C-alpha cells in the first residue's frame, strides 16, 4: 500500500486495514493513547489520520459503548508500527479486524516522523491511500458540508431534569452528552439544522464537528436567534467557531491544526495553564471579535484563540475538549460551571 501526498511525496508500507483506497486531508495527532476514541470522533470525518506515537494497536478495541460515535469516522489510518498482538482486559478484537470490518484502509511501516515534519512545514495537505499501486483522484473534504454528513437526522432526549439544554449535534462526541446529562438536566440532542422555534429550553449547547465552520449557515442562524432571546450558550471546538461567527467575528484555517491530548491553554484573566485535548483545523480570529466580547483562553504554543466569552451576556465557548475522551480532565469544571449558572 502507498500513501500519496498532493505535493508528489509517496510513502510505501504494508496494509493492515480494509483492502480499499481512500482520499482525504492528511492530518496528524500527537496523542500517545486513545486511538479508539480518536478514530470514532466525528470531527475526523474526511481525514486520513497519522498517529505520531509509533506503536498503535497494542491494547486492541473495547466494546462499542466506549466509542465516541457508532463507527470509525476517519477516511484512513497511518501508523509507524501496528501491533497485531494486543493485551487489555476490556479488549474484544484487534484494531486490524475492526478496520477491515468497517471498510477503512490503514498502512503501517511508514516513517511517521518524516511525514509529520512535512505536514508541519508545508501544512496539512490532500492525500490518498491506494492499494492498487496507482494514484487516484485527490478529494478535498473541506469543500463538502461534512457537518451535514455526521449530524443525526432526528431529535433525541436524555434525562428528565428540570433544566432543559438543547445540544446542537454538529458531530458531537458521546462523552459530551455524558458530561451534560445530570440529575438536574434534560439534554435535547438535535440535528445541526434543527428549527428551535417551537422548542422550550433554558440553554443552548453547540458541539464539536468537522470541516469549515462557515458552511454551517443554518446553525449560525440558530445561534443568532438564541442570542436574541438572551439564552445562555456554551460551545466546544466547532461550537467556538460557530459562536464567534454568529457574534460577527471571523475564522481561518490553521496551517496544520491542533490534534492531540497535550495542548497547553492559558486562561486570560487568571494566567493559569491547562493541558487540553484538541482536534480542530480552524480557529477564531481573536482580533475580529466585536465589542463586548473577549478572549477567554489562548494556546500557549502558537498564541491562537482557544475560547471566547461575552463580558455581560451568558455566552461562552472553548476551542478545546473539556470532556476529554481521550485526554486530560483538567477543564471538566467548564461543564460544572455552565450547569451551575443555569440553576440561578
Active-site residue list:
237, 321, 323
- CA distances 215 to 54, 281, 343, Å, are 35, 14, 34
Q: Quick one: DSSP state of residue 57?
A: S
d(CA 271, CA 99): 43
CB 324 within 8 A of CB 175: yes
d(CA 138, CA 263): 30
Q: Is 10 helix (H, G, I), strand (E, B) or coil?
A: strand
CB 203 within 8 A of CB 165: yes
User: Where are the alpha helices (H) located in the chain, listed in sequence order?
Assistant: 35-39, 95-102, 112-122, 146-150, 174-180, 217-228, 238-247, 333-342
Amino acid at each position: 500500500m502507498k500513501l500519496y501526498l498532493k505535493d508528489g511525496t509517496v510513502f510505501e508500507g504494508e496494509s493492515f486495514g480494509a483492502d480499499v483506497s481512500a482520499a482525504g486531508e492528511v492530518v496528524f495527532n500527537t496523542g500517545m493513547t486513545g486511538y479508539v476514541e480518536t478514530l470514532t470522533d466525528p470531527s475526523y470525518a474526511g481525514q486520513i489520520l497519522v498517529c505520531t506515537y509509533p506503536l498503535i494497536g497494542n491494547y486492541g478495541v473495547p466494546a462499542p459503548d466506549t466509542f465516541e460515535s457508532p463507527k470509525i469516522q476517519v477516511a484512513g489510518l497511518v501508523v509507524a508500527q501496528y501491533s497485531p498482538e494486543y493485551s487489555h482486559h476490556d479488549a474484544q478484537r484487534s484494531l486490524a479486524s475492526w478496520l477491515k470490518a468497517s471498510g477503512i484502509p490503514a498502512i503501517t511501516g511508514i516513517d511517521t516522523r518524516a511525514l509529520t515534519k512535512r505536514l508541519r512545514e508545508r501544512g496539512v495537505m490532500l492525500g490518498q491511500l491506494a492499494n492498487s499501486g496507482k494514484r487516484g483522484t485527490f478529494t478535498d473534504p473541506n469543500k463538502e458540508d461534512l457537518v451535514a454528513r455526521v449530524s443525526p437526522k432526528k431529535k433525541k432526549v436524555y434525562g428528565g431534569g428540570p433544566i432543559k439544554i438543547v445540544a446542537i449535534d454538529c458531530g458531537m462526541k458521546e462523552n459530551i452528552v455524558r458530561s451534560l446529562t445530570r440529575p438536574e438536566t434534560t439534554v435535547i440532542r438535535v440535528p445541526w439544522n434543527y428549527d428551535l422555534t417551537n422548542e422550550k429550553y433554558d440553554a443552548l449547547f453547540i458541539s464539536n464537528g468537522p470541516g469549515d465552520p462557515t458552511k454551517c449557515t443554518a446553525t449560525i442562524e440558530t445561534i443568532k436567534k438564541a442570542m436574541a432571546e438572551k439564552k445562555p450558550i456554551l460551545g466546544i471546538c466547532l461550537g467556538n467557531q460557530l459562536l464567534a461567527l454568529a457574534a460577527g467575528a471571523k475564522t481561518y484555517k490553521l496551517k496544520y491544526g491542533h490534534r492531540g491530548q497535550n495542548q497547553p491553554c492559558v486562561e486570560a484573566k487568571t494566567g493559569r495553564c491547562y493541558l487540553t485535548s484538541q482536534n480542530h483545523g480552524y480557529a477564531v480570529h481573536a482580533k475580529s471579535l466585536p465589542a463586548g466580547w473577549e478572549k477567554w483562553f489562548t494556546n500557549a504554543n502558537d498564541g491562537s484563540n482557544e475560547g471566547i466569552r461575552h463580558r455581560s451576556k451568558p455566552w461562552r465557548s472553548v476551542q478545546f475538549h473539556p470532556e476529554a475522551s481521550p485526554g486530560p480532565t483538567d477543564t471538566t469544571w467548564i461543564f460544572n460551571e455552565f450547569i451551575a449558572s443555569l440553576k440561578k
